[in-house]
Structure formats: C-alpha cells, structure tokens
Amino acid sequence: MTRMRFLCAPYSGASATVFRPWVELLPSNIALSAVELPGRGSRFSESPLTCMEDLIDQLYDAVRPHLRMPFVLFGHSLGAVVMFELAHRFVDSHLIPERLIVSGQRALHRPSPRSPIHNLPDEQFISEINQYGGTQAGIFENEELRSIFLPLLRADFQLGETYVPHTTSPLCCDLSAYGGLQDPEVSVADIQAWRRYTEKQFNYRMFPGNHFFLHQHNGLVVESLLADLSKE
C-alpha cells in the first residue's frame, strides 16, 4: 500500500523520463511522480516557460489534487529551484511536505560563478552548454535535434538565470541538500548553505561524480534519500 508520494523535477532540458530508472529502486510503498515541464516529453507541443511564477502556478494546479498522502519534493539543478518555490506554495496553502530534497544546486543566496548565457548567440551558447557535460553527444550536430533542443535549453536557462526567489524565508519542513564532489558549478559550501532555508531538520550529502552525479550513481542517491526519508 502506498504511503508516500515522491514528487521529482528534472534539470534544464530534461524530461520526466530521467527519473524512470528510480522506479525499480524505490520500495512499492513510495509512488514516484516526475513532473513534466512544458516543451518536452508528453508536453512537447507546448512552449517552454521562461517565468518561474507562471511555471509554479501551472505545477501547483496540476499537482495539488493528487496529494492525498504524505509527500516529499525532490529537484535537481533547475528542478531544485522549482521544487523550492513549489514547497513554499504548498506551505502557504497549509500543505506541508515531509521533506524537500534539493540536488545539484547552490543555495539561493550564493552567487553563480558564471555569467548568464541564455541570450548568447547560438554557437557561444552551445559552447557553454557543452562545458556542463550532460548533453548527449552530437545532439547539436543534428539539425533536426538542434532545432528542437536548442530553444528548449535556452528557455530553461532563461528561467533559471532570471529567477528571483518569491521568498527566502525558512521552510517548516525538513530539508536535505545533495551535491557532487567533482561538480565544478556547485561547491560543498554551496550545498551546506541550504541550511538557512529550513527551521526544521537539515542534512547534506556529497556524492562522487560531477553535476550529473544522480545518473552516475543513481543507486547510491536513491539509497541515501531512502535513509533520509526513514528519519521522518
């Protein structure tokens, strides 16, 4: 019998399918629900959003009716920011998550080491994207894939780079922060700094791997998050 819903949001350019391998790793009493953002997967025909407030409005309306059990929020990179905002929206409506897990994302008050890239010319933008190391090899050499994927990535980076937190007040739920030890974008200090965003229990975990450690060590990540959930 399902006792908890595990709601996930992916990183820039990704669809809900990136969490598909986790289904077999989670126990049967945890129902995994990955949100599909506009412009990808089953919502491919929709235009991607570049305004965080509009995105949170959409997600809240879509998800709220399905939360009839305890739930946990998880987001990686851009998805972590999305879930932070969604957590506050739920709290404002007196629906408290059991835990928020932010992954691969620096704490909101920590400055980015990079300048914004969403408005760069295509070739410069692609060069910057390739430095993150998570883009499928050759995707920008294929004209059809490039025409699909480039606008989506640009929109997602605009969404993240123009984001201003609705509030930075601490949440009234437990918070975990995960990071990659070899992530050049997000340091251990960036992960530890999430402590200020909860008035409840906080912990952080560092994993081997770069910015995409959740794929490189998905079994270890799921094992760790289950350990965190067992503390509820």
Active site residue ranges: 77
Bridge partners (DSSP) listed for residue 176: 101, 203
C-alpha span between 147 and 157 (Å, rounded): 16
What CA–CA distances, in Å, run from 39 to 154, 202, 214?
12, 34, 23
Bridge partners (DSSP) listed for residue 5: 31, 71
Q: Are strands 99-103 and 71-76 parallel, antiparallel or unpaired?
A: parallel
**Cβ(155)–Cβ(49) under 8 Å?**
yes
C-alpha span between 79 and 8 (Å, rounded): 8
Residue among 170, 184, 181, 186 nearest 77 (CA): 186
Where helices occur in the chain by DSSP H, the ranges are 52-63, 78-92, 122-130, 143-161, 188-192, 213-216, 218-229
